[in-house]
Amino acid sequence: MKVFSRLTAIAVTSGAVLAGAGAALAGLGQPTPWEMDLQDSATPVMETIAGFHNFLLWVIAAISAFVLALLVIVIFRFNARANPNPSRTTHNTPIEILWTIAPVVILAMIAVPSFRLLFLELDVPTPDLTIKATGKQWFWSYSYPDNGNFEFDSLMVAEKDLKAGQPRLLTADNEMVVPVNKVVHVLVTGADVIHSFTVPSFGIRMDAIPGRINETWFKATIEGMFYGQCSELCGKDHSFMPIAVRVVSDSDFTAWAKDAKQKFASAEHAPANAYAAAIAPLH
């Protein structure tokens, strides 16, 4: 009994700590220590994903509670001592119809919002701008075909070079910059092996496959820094090719694009590492 009361104390204490730290359990744009929930949403798609996730949580909690209640009833009311002469019933048509129909209704209730979410994610609205993200071993390159047609590489900043406030393993030297409240169409491809372009707060994850263009989209509604990581095991430096997206106002974006066009003007920009140099003639 002592063990049981200790376990209860631990559960109550950790519950209280978690409830108190609720706000700190999910971050916006980047993970936070002890995060338990999804990252906060910065796009309509991620809001819908989070809403669907919470809805499913209620559904599975209700089903689990119902099954647990049935088990408890069976254990206490129908054990050998309480119920020495068991019923010999083998069929009960109304109950059989009920336990077939009820799950179908529950699945239909899940299917409707699930398909609505899939269409929202996959049906790209008319874009305000297009960016091509190319996964390479082990960094990302971003092209802006309709804002001056420039391209640049985005490499992780080493821990020793981080400035105050910059997150470790997520900070990149050249961030992908996008305007706020604009539909950004992202074309995703890989230059060597399969990578995956992922930004949790935007609710996007799209495989970057060599020789193939995949597409996704996001409309960031909050200005700030949003981070993601390559999410397909792509080689030894897979964990060191962050995706850093800076969402800025329209005017800041126009100014940045003008500067970037100058800065990254050369079409033959220098390969970012030895591997990129080795494969450069192939592209």
Q: Which residues bind Cu ion (CB under 5 A)?
A: 195, 230, 234
Based on CB atoms, which residue is closest to Cu ion, 139 or 152?
139
Contacts of 62 (CB under 8 A, 6+ apart): none
Q: What are phi and psi of 118, to 5 degrees?
A: -60, -45
Min dist CB 135 to Cu ion, Å, is 5
Q: State the minimum distance, in angstroms, from the CB of residue 2 to Cu ion.
A: 51
Q: How far is the CB of 234 from Cu ion (least distance, A)?
A: 3
Is the Cβ of residue 21 or residue 233 nearer to Cu ion in the bound state? 233
Q: Across the strands, what pairs with 250?
A: none
Please, which residue, 185 or 195, has the CB nearer to Cu ion?
195
Choice between 194 and 257, CB closer to Cu ion: 194
CB of 142 to Cu ion, least distance (A): 15
Tokens 């009960």 sit on residue:
92
Kindly tell me which of 62 and 233 has the beta carbon lying closer to Cu ion: 233
Indicate the angle between helix axes 44-77 and 93-122, nearest 10 degrees. Answer: 160
Q: Min. distance of Cβ 156 from Cu ion in angstroms?
A: 12
Single-letter amino acid code for the residue at 275 = Y
